[in-house]
Structure 1
């Protein structure tokens, strides 16, 4: 199958391209850069806001994976106009290009951050019930502009299905980590500080948790999402174990330490974390995270050391 991946030279997108190629697909990476371009993929140096260019590029494809977006929440907050342009108008452009080019499906990269706006009822034990893809979203709790932009993108995908019969799959990513991730991400910062013998900083008390998912496991879900059973479905691709910021520090200390720790004020508008089920991905796609957190951090550290001279 010939598929396109917008953002195919970025952190997650480049791993998706790698895994699609390994699975035997023909891949077009659409990106304004070639930073992590796999030499086995074709490359279209295009802005996703270029409708004529996108339409022409997708002409020979069957499916487009739309990953290109502003994903750094601090950058989104600092430049909301550009964030809306890229994350919402960019999604509209890709959907329209896919419609004009007759693609069978658009696969949208979304995020578990949208569950921050989900309505959850307490269980019998008083704890919040686990959320899944059917959890209703309360728009007045969408919070951060990044979340709003992703919810809007999901709404566009559903509208194109309703109005034009364009099929979709939505993949709500857990918090990804691994080789090629941005230096600003917490695991990257901790590993790099340890390797450079600098103290690490923890925002708040370090008890906030995330269900991190290793990027190669995440990429594997994209290949599985090409299955017909994924058509017009939404999947939460959540990590299997809650990891606190303190746990990250302890893991890095164990692998690369010793570390010294400094505490700083908590970051505003941070994703508070919810209990999210990945059962539907397991049931329909046969997908579940396979890489342990220790192994994933170690692989990132190995990659960072190996790539230090080329960064």
Structure 2
């Protein structure tokens, strides 16, 4: 099968490309960069907002995975206009290009952050209620602009199914971590601080928790999502165990320490974390996360050491222009 992946040279997208190629698919990575481009994949260096170019390159593909987005919540808050254009207008362009090119399905990358706006049976619910893909969403509680853009993108996907018969799959990612992740992500920041001998800084009291999911486990779910059982379905790809920010720091300390830990003011509109069920992904896709958190942190640390060593390694050979 020929598959296009927008954002296919980024953190998660590049792992998705790797896994699709390993499964025997023909893959086109659509991205404005080639940072983590797999040489076995085709590459189209275009912006997803360029509808004519996107329509042209999607021709011949059967499915598009749409991962290109502004995912850094701090950047979203700092540049809301760009965030809306990238995350909402970009999704619209991908859906329309897929429709014009006759693709059979669009797979949208969403996030478990949308569950922060979930309506529970008790509005004073403490977060103990486990939520699934069918829980109602209260738009007035969307909170962070990042969540609003992802909810809007999901609504567009449903509208294209209703109006044009375009099939979809929505994948709501748990908090991803692993090789190639952005330096701003909490696991990356803590590991890099420990390796550099700097203190680890925790926003708030450190009790806020996330169900982290290792990026290669996440990529595996994308291959499984090509199944007919995933058509017109939404899946929460949540990690299996809640890990508090303090526990992340303690894990890094055990693996790479000793390190000192400092606390600063909590981040505004942060995702507080909810109990989210991944049962539907297990039932319909046979997917569940397999990588232990500490093992995933260790693999990231090993990758980061190697990546920085390669960057720092002096170049050898003749100087440019030499005969």
Normalised by the length of structure 2, the TM-score is 0.94
What SS does structure 1 have at the residue aligned with 2:304?
helix
Task: State the shift of 1:129 in Å.
Answer: 1.6
SS in 1 for 2:24: coil
Gaps of 5+ in 2: 312-323
Aligned position for 2:65: 65
- TM-aligned CA distance change 1:39 to 1:137, over 3 Å: same
- The whole-number CA distance in structure 2 between the counterparts of 1:262 and 1:126 is 27
Aligned residue in 1 for 2:248: 248
How far does the alpha carbon of each residue in 1:77-106 deviate from its partner, in whole angstroms, 9 at most, with x for none? 111000000000000000000000000000
1:125-154 Cα shifts (integer Å, max 9, x gaps): 986320000000000000111000000000
- Asked whether the equivalents of residues 127 and 275 of structure 2 are also in contact (C-alpha less than 8 Å), the reply is no
| Counterpart Cα distance in 2 of 1:80 and 1:201 | 26
| Cα distance between partner residues in 2 of 1:309 and 1:46 | 31
Partner of 2:321: none
Contact 1:121 1:128 in 2 (8 A): no
CA contact (8 A) 2:127 2:274 kept: no
Residue of structure 1 equivalent to 2:101:
101
Deviations 1:272-302 (A, max 9, x none): 0001000000000000000000100000000
Instruction: State the Cα distance separating 1:121 from its structure 2 match.
Output: 2.1
CA distance in 2, matches of 1:265, 1:194: 21
Counterparts of 2:134 and 2:307, CA distance in 1: 41
C-alpha contact (below 8 Å) 2:80/2:145 kept by paired residues: yes
Q: Is the 8 A contact 1:194 1:252 kept in 2?
A: yes
Quick check: 1:165 aligned with 2:162? no
How many Å apart are 1:120 and its aligned residue? 1.3
1:272 corresponds in structure 2 to 272
The secondary structure found in structure 1 opposite 2:202 is strand
Measured after TM superposition, the shift of residue 309 of structure 1 is: 3.4
Stretches of structure 1 lacking an aligned partner (at least 5 in a row): none
For 1:185 and 1:252, how far apart are their aligned partners in 2? 14
Q: Tell me which structure has the larger Cα radius of gyration.
A: 2
* Matching of residues 181-260 of structure 1 within 5 Å: 181-260=181-260
Tell me which residue corresponds to 2:88.
Answer: 88
**Alignment RMSD:** 1.2
Q: Distance in 2 between matches of 1:271 and 1:241?
A: 17
Inter-partner Cα distance in structure 1 for 2:256 and 2:72: 27
* 1:90-129 equivalences in 2 (<5 Å): 90-122=90-122, 128-129=128-129
Contact kept, 8 Å, 1:120 with 1:128, in 2: the verdict is: no
1:149 equivalent in structure 2: 149
| Partner residue in 2 for 1:138 | 138
1:292 aligns with 2:292: yes
Following superposition, the deviation at residue 247 of structure 1 comes to 0.4
Partner of 1:7: 7
Distance of 1:120 and 1:286 partners within structure 2: 27
Distance 1:223 1:127 in 2: 31
Query: Residue 122 of structure 1 contacts residue 129 of structure 1 at CA under 8 Å; is this kept in 2?
Result: no
TM-score (norm 1): 0.98
**Residue 24 of structure 2 is aligned to residue 24 of structure 1:** yes
Question: What SS does structure 2 have at the residue aligned with 1:152?
Answer: helix
Q: Runs of 4 or more off by more than 2 Å in structure 1?
A: 125-128
